[in-house]
Amino acid sequence: GQQLNQSPQSMFIQEGEDVSMNCTSSSIFNTWLWYKQDPGEGPVLLIALYKAGELTSNGRLTAQFGITRKDSFLNISASIPSDVGIYFCAATGNQFYFGTGTSLTVIP
């Protein structure tokens, strides 16, 4: 079935650094979503993308819907300690799919 390949699986970065993660698939999707999950909490929607090529920002976060509709990336600029958590991509095609997550650790 359709599968979202999310990378990297984990990241350890210094505070202030920029972060980039992506999701790819062999299938085409109509919507891409990015969530953040804090420890002990449920996922919270960060950014939703609805059109191929769309670039959307939410504060220090920027996400893009790939032009081929098969991928998406999320960038975080100037990371801070509270950015720690697991970031998930999700996409809607004929069904709804989640990625496996990128675990982000920010070292002060």
Per CB under 8 A, residues contacting other proteins are 4, 9, 30-31, 33, 40-45, 48, 88, 90, 92, 94-101
The CB-of-102 to other proteins minimum distance in angstroms stands at: 11
Question: Which is nearer to other proteins, 18 or 94 (by Cβ)?
Answer: 94
Question: Which is nearer to other proteins, 35 or 73 (by Cβ)?
Answer: 35
Closest CA to 31 of 75, 68, 65: 65
Which residues have CB under 8 Å from 22's CB, separation 6+?
Answer: 6, 7, 71, 72, 73, 74, 89
